[in-house]
A and B are shown apart, each in its own frame.
Chain A
Amino acid sequence: MPEHRTQNTGYRIRFLLFALCSLLFALNGIALAELTAKANHDHITIDFFYHGSSVSVKGISEPGTDLIVKITSPERHEALRKKGKVAGFLWMNVGKLTFERAPFLYFLHSTKNIEDILGREEMDKYVLGYPALSRHMEVTPVANDKEKNIWFNEFLKYKESSNLYSTSSGKISTVTKNGKQEYSIVLDWPYQASPDNYVVTVHAVKNGKVAETAEAKVLVEQVGLVKGLADMAKNKAIFYGIISIIAALGAGFGVGLVFRKGGGAH
């Protein structure tokens, strides 16, 4: 008897564990399915008449959550010339700075000021916001953190002047429908953004922490003759150089002949 009871108790425990696991799994599944992200224009093609585009990111989230939409390119290293004063009054290039782990493009938009909704640890973990990006990136050569901050801020100015970095809060619009929060944001896509695979990451924030994350992709690529010329410049450089020179010589002579004909008419 005691053996039978023990067996029954074992079954019950296993059943309860199974039920609990199923419930947790289901709840987790619901939570994962809660946040969605979709970029409406996820394949941007660059032809001769391309002058930038627009990308809208939309999806569904749990009602009441704050949202952060981040768009970045793969990280790279950028070497830039730095300007400084020489002889006390002449501004000129005084050396090079290398920015490691720097995304070529970095857009960050949130429903509220990011520092009001996230703690520093979370911001650093997901590289959210300029202060977190500053801590994430490496700048060399610099003497100390103070100098690093100065040049990081100059880097931001440089990037923002080319429309490649931007942050905002309050631009994401949200509407609650049928117990779910629909969000959307429309962003100008700058023509300065080079062909690459861009990642759109949406974070749902609750109680100062990232609760959920969803991702979408934006592929930017050159097509047609633009791609043909760019590839030729890189891969068939000798041929490309010769063609460029012949075209210039031809154009020079051609216009010369046209003008000679024009002159002859007088």
Chain B
Amino acid sequence: MYLYLPVALTSINILIPIGLGLAVGLLSGLFGVGGGFLMTPLLIMLGIPATVAAATDSNQIVAASTSGTYAHWKVGNVDFKMGLYLLAGGFIGGLIGVQGIKILNTMGNADFVIKITYVLMLGIVGTYMFIESLLSMKKKKVEEVKAEKESGITRFLKSLPLQTHFEKSGVTHSAILPVVFGGFVGILAAIMGVGGGFLMVPVMVYILRMPMHVVVGTSLFQILFNCIEVTFLQAYTNHTVDFMLAVLLLLGSTVGAQIGTVFGRKLKGEQLKIILAVIVLVVTVKIIFELTLSPTLLLAQGGGH
């Protein structure tokens, strides 16, 4: 059955966005990522204009992350305090990132910088997570060496002012730390035009040393607020949010996020990390193929990632 989308100005088989929503919502509930890096390109492939795909995806992530945050909050896996610090940093970073894009655009090489940054970040994060989780799973003695290496960094982090305890995560850090790293992810996310969940998760795991299950819930919490802001701005300034498409996507993604949370509880932190690493690496390879293989069409609509 087909449904016409009033803003995208196209017709779509309703089972496709519901199915896509379900799959991406599942990833969202499992790993605490918004899934924009998967959903937006898939929507464009289905004939949705790039600008509408990106804006509508933000709207459906609001639903999926609400569903996911709620499910994680019920089992005590959301660190609201940490989430708010990251959110504050992310907000400032987003503003800086938008200015960065303006500068890149005037320099005329914005797309090159964005694509290369995207591939490098995905590649580095995916590879690091993959190797680290694999080593942890094999329980090699790497941990001891690491602990020694990290002691210097840990000492430096402990010496920072405004130390505060994050009860849910069971860690003590300077309040500056989540704000700075939230800001860093915010800058990159704004430049790359994505939500940044795939960057925020490793920051929380490896730098803030939060337990993986709390990471997922907290990441979803801050993604929720980011996407509310993006949805509103897109609807207000670009008129590119397609409500009907968002409804179809969220029908799948809200349920998917719940299922993902249930599955996530059955998996160990290391298993979750390695699966996310594999997904990130697969996306990296896909983008590398897109960049190197001759495209069938040399013209495309403006906007999107």
Contacts and interface: CB of A to CB of B under 8 A. Distances in A.
B239 A237 contact: yes
A96 interface: yes
Interface residues of B, number: 59
Contacts of A80: 299-302
B4 A230 contact: no
Interface in B233-256: 234-237, 239, 241-244, 246-247, 250-251, 254-255
Interface stretch (B63-71, B78-86, B194-202): B63-71
B241 A244 contact: yes
Contact of A81 (B3, B74, B243, B301): B301
A233 B239 contact: yes
Interface string A132-164: 000000000000000000010011011001100
A214 interface: no
Contacts of A226: 4, 6
B297 A154 contact: yes
A49 B4 contact: yes
B115 interface: yes
B297 A161 contact: yes
A96 B63 contact: no
B236 A241 contact: yes
A252 B250 contact: yes
A111 B17 CA distance: 42
A251 interface: yes
Contact of B115 (A90, A97, A222): A90
B135 interface: no
Contacts of A238: 235-236
A96 B294 CA distance: 19
Interface residues of A, number: 59
B156 interface: no
A90 B119 CA distance: 12
A259 B298 contact: no
Given A82-B298, A90-B292, A248-B63, A233 B241 contact: yes
Interface in A2-21: none
B298 A49 contact: no
A52 interface: yes
A229 B243 contact: yes
B301 to A, nearest CB: 6
A244 B247 CA distance: 9
Contacts of A229: 6-7, 243-244
B232 A245 contact: yes
B228 interface: yes
Interface string B287-305: 0001111111111111000
> Of residues A94, A245, A253, A254, which shows the largest number of chain B Cβ atoms within 10 Å of its Cβ?
A245
A162 B70 CA distance: 41
Contact of A191 (B10, B234, B255, B294): B10
A28 interface: no
A155 B241 CA distance: 26
Contacts of B228: 245, 249
10 contacts: A50-B2, A50-B11, A80-B302, A90-B112, A233-B241, A244-B59, A245-B231, A248-B246, A255-B255, A256-B258
Interface of A: 46-52, 79-84, 86, 89-94, 96-97, 151, 154-155, 157-158, 161-162, 191-192, 194-195, 222, 226-227, 229-230, 233-234, 237-238, 240-245, 247-249, 251-256, 259-260
